[in-house]
Amino acid sequence: MDNLNNLMQGFADVMAPLNLLLALVGVVIGTAVGVLPGIGPAMTVALLLPITYGMEPVQAFIMFAGIFYGGMYGGSTTSILLNTPGESSSVVTAIEGNKMAKAGRAAQALATAAIGSFVAGTIGTLLLVLITPFVVDFAVSLGSPDYFALMLLSFIAVTSVLGSSRIRGFISLLLGLTIGLVGIDTVSGQQRLTLGVPQLADGIDVVVVAVGIFAVGEALWVAAHLRRKPAEVIPVGRPWMGRQDWKRSWKPWLRGTAFGFPFGALPAGGAEIPTFLSYATEKRLTKHPEQFGKGAIEGVAGPEAANNASAAGTLVPMLAIGLPTNATAAVMLAAFQSYGIQPGPLLFEREASLVWVLIASLFIGNLLLLLLNLPLAPAWAKLLQIPRPYLYAGILFFATMGAYAVNAQPLDLFILLTLGLLGFAMRRFGLPVLPLIVGVILGPRAELQGRRSLQLSGGELSGLLGGPVSYTVYTVVAVVLLWPLIRRFVVRPLRARSAA
């Protein structure tokens, strides 16, 4: 019951008028920026992170919760009205959502997305409250070798499970790890890869990396291939749903939530798999199979709920263990670190009030989102028509401002540009972005934990094998890495035998 009291205290903190206003501002800017084409939730959070630099952590996190859910919701609006998802997690929403919009049912598609997101977000946050303490209890018992193994699993997961090409995933990861290496080694105090530049001694700020790769890279990439005739936006009125729509939506919302949350909480989960699973399930269970592919409301309700529930799920490993499982969580982790706060099991002891304020803000932000988005949808739709030169000029403008604000040194702008060019090249050569960001954030911590483990064993490599947890994790890592071989020599012969 202790947690319940903490949560109530969190709500009490958020309810102060100024804090409530910040939550509202966060939701509005988060949605507005998230709606803009080309800007996914992760970029939204990265671009808006610097505006909270002058604030107290509590205030900043209240605003952040709003930005987080706002950015998520904004992305689904874009995919429904433009057929152009900002992130791979909204791909499925676009399939039926855009068809609905084209058939004149944009209002219903947006409504089921908004209400479904609210339902899934609320249930997901509730599950977060219930489950996180157990994960924390588990995480407290973990030692350095276990953490090292878990981070290794994270690396392998983002490179091998997500994305289409392992080798390209690993390249991206290694680039990220190398960027994370820059600066003074925390253990020995030696400078690494600083090229003698004093400003690099503190390393390259994760925010600069995220903004450079996401925002500047994207702006340069689009600028080089700008479509001269912008895509068509479908006009929309105020979202609403009829009786029939409610009847067809509520079960997909709940099923989508059930898919989304557990996948989000897994180290290699993400939102892509649950949204696809939810879509496939709804397609099989629907009473209107003829509408699928032509704009079935179940195909929007389920995946959209799955997407939001998985976003809530990603916060479990992010807060309790300090492991980010998707790009947005990675940027959120960077936000914590920029306040000198290290997510992980101790977070709930040391910064208990902050965590519970954040969780309470997630509930409030989710509710505000619903109240705001139903009436404001037509205004958001107008944002989609913003002339592209202004859109990308604006992205570069805010990216520059944010990166400069981190340390107030012009050198960061040159680093930002270099990273932007790297982001450009990665888009050109089809290298995924997520492994790089995860590498930058987790790399230094993985090294630290690895070295601590070896310290205990006096340098013997056996020190990396801590206990049952690390054994299990290494087994999973081995299976994931060897999966192509296993499939070829174990799964296929077995299948062939059972078929025979």
Residues 406-425 within binding reach of other proteins (CB under 8 A): 407-408, 410, 413-414, 417, 420-421, 424-425
> Would you say 39 and 81 are in contact if contact means Cβ atoms under 8 Å apart?
no
Cβ atoms within 10 Å, residue 244: 10
Residue type, 245: D
Among the listed residues 51, 162, 329, 477, the single contact to other proteins using CB under 8 A? 51
Work out which of 21, 285, 375, 390 binds other proteins, going by CB under 8 A: 390
Closer to other proteins by CB, 342 or 407: give it. Answer: 407
Contact between 280 and other proteins by CB under 8 A: the answer reads no
Q: Out of 237, 242, 430, 484, point to the residue binding other proteins (CB under 8 A).
A: 430
Q: Report whether 162 contacts 424 (CB < 8 A).
A: no
Residue list 226-265, contact with other proteins (CB under 8 A):
226-228, 230-231
Residue (51 or 127) nearer to other proteins, CB: 51
User: Can you tell me which of 10, 26, 30, 37 binds other proteins, judged by CB under 8 A?
Assistant: 37
Q: Is 304 in the site for other proteins (CB under 8 A)?
A: no
| Contact range with other proteins by CB under 8 A, out of 9-17, 38-46, 197-205, 332-340 | 38-46
Q: DSSP secondary-structure letter at 178?
A: H
Segment interacting with other proteins, rule: CB under 8 A, options 135-143, 165-173, 239-247, 254-262: 165-173
Of 222 and 241, CB closest to other proteins: 222
Per DSSP, the residues of 445-489 read HHHHHHHHHHHHTTT-GGGG--SHHHHHHHHHHHHHHHHHHHIII
Q: List the interface residues with other proteins, window 62-91 (CB under 8 A).
A: 78-79, 82-88, 91
Among residues 240 and 429, whose Cβ is nearest to other proteins? 429
Query: How far, in Å, are 13, 22, 30, 366 from residue 17 at the CA level?
Result: 9, 9, 20, 17
For other proteins, how many residues bind (rule: CB under 8 A)? Answer: 95
Alpha-carbon distance of 426 to 221, in angstroms, equals: 10
Residue 139 or 415: the one with the smaller Cβ distance to other proteins is 415
Going by their DSSP bridges, the two strands 183-184 and 191-192 should be labelled as antiparallel
Distance of CA 255 to the CA centre of its chain: 21
> Cα dihedral sign for 425, 429, 432, 436?
negative
User: What is the footprint of other proteins within residues 437-466 (CB under 8 A)?
Assistant: 447, 450-451, 454-455, 458-459
Give DSSP secondary structure letters for 71-84.
Answer: HHHHHHHHHHHHS-
